[in-house]
Amino acid sequence: MGVMNNVSLLQPGQMLQRGVSRHLVGHGFACVEELVPARGLRVDVMALGPKGEVWVVECKSCRADFTSDTKWQGYLEWADRFFFAVDEDFPTELLPEEQGLIIGDAYTAEIVRMPAEAKLAPARRKVMIQKFGVTAARRLQLLRDPDMHPDWD
């Protein structure tokens, strides 16, 4: 398919997204990066688990990235479990202890703290699974036909 796979071109947050997605895929999850659950929100990684569970991972590349983020709490209502993903040099004491924690890089990651589960309501779960499927299918179509000019918004 000719997909570019040059890690050196990725931004720090994108490298974390890549490593987190690789790790979660290894646990039976499917992942979509940069998914929009609602207007004004964009989650870094949404993972759909083998039992239909919905996890959201917010990747933070540095202290300033975390301290300037005013939206992450808005993501909590869109997931069964919410995680922060950071690299090994990130000052993890800044992160809320009630949220999950993943340490990673561009190649892999590890869940070091599992958050409590907050089950999505069935209607919200349906919306998220539909958004996941539509987003993934559209991106696949664009990979197969990059000259297509969709009017999807």
CATH number at residue 73: 3.40.1350
Q: Does residue 49 lie within any of the structural domains?
A: yes
Q: What is the pTM of this model?
A: 0.89
Q: Does residue 36 lie within any of the structural domains?
A: yes
Return the pLDDT at 63.
Answer: 93
Q: Does residue 149 lie within any of the structural domains?
A: no
Q: Does residue 121 lie within any of the structural domains?
A: yes
The residue segments making up the domain with residue 20 are: 11-144
Return the pLDDT at 9.
Answer: 75
Q: What is the pLDDT of residues 16-27, one digit of tens each?
A: 999 999 999 999
Neighbours of 23 (CB within 10 A): 21
Residue 70 pLDDT class (50, 70, 90 cuts) = confident
**CA–CA distance, 23 with 17 (Å, rounded to integer):** 10
Q: Does residue 3 lie within any of the structural domains?
A: no
The whole-number average pLDDT for the span 83-89 is 96
Buried b (16+ CB within 10 A) or exposed e, 81-97: bbbbbbbeebeeeebee
Phi-psi bin for 15: left (phi > 0), alpha (psi -120 to 50), beta? Answer: alpha
Q: Could you give the C-alpha distances from 32 to 4, 5, 98, in angstroms and in order?
A: 17, 16, 24
Among residues 9, 19, 8, 24, the alpha carbon closest in space to that of 87 is found at 19
Q: Quick one: how far is CA 56 from the chain centroid?
A: 5
Q: Does residue 153 lie within any of the structural domains?
A: no
Domain count, the chain: 1
Q: Does residue 150 lie within any of the structural domains?
A: no
Neighbours of 112 (CB within 10 A): 13
* 131 Cβ neighbours under 8 A, 6+ residues apart: 35, 36, 37
Q: Does residue 152 lie within any of the structural domains?
A: no
Q: What is the pLDDT of residues 114-143, one digit of tens each?
A: 999 999 999 999 999 999 999 999 999 998
Residue 2 pLDDT class (50, 70, 90 cuts) = very low
Return the pLDDT at 109.
Answer: 97
121 by Cβ neighbours in 10 Å (0-12 / 13-18 / 19+) ranks as exposed
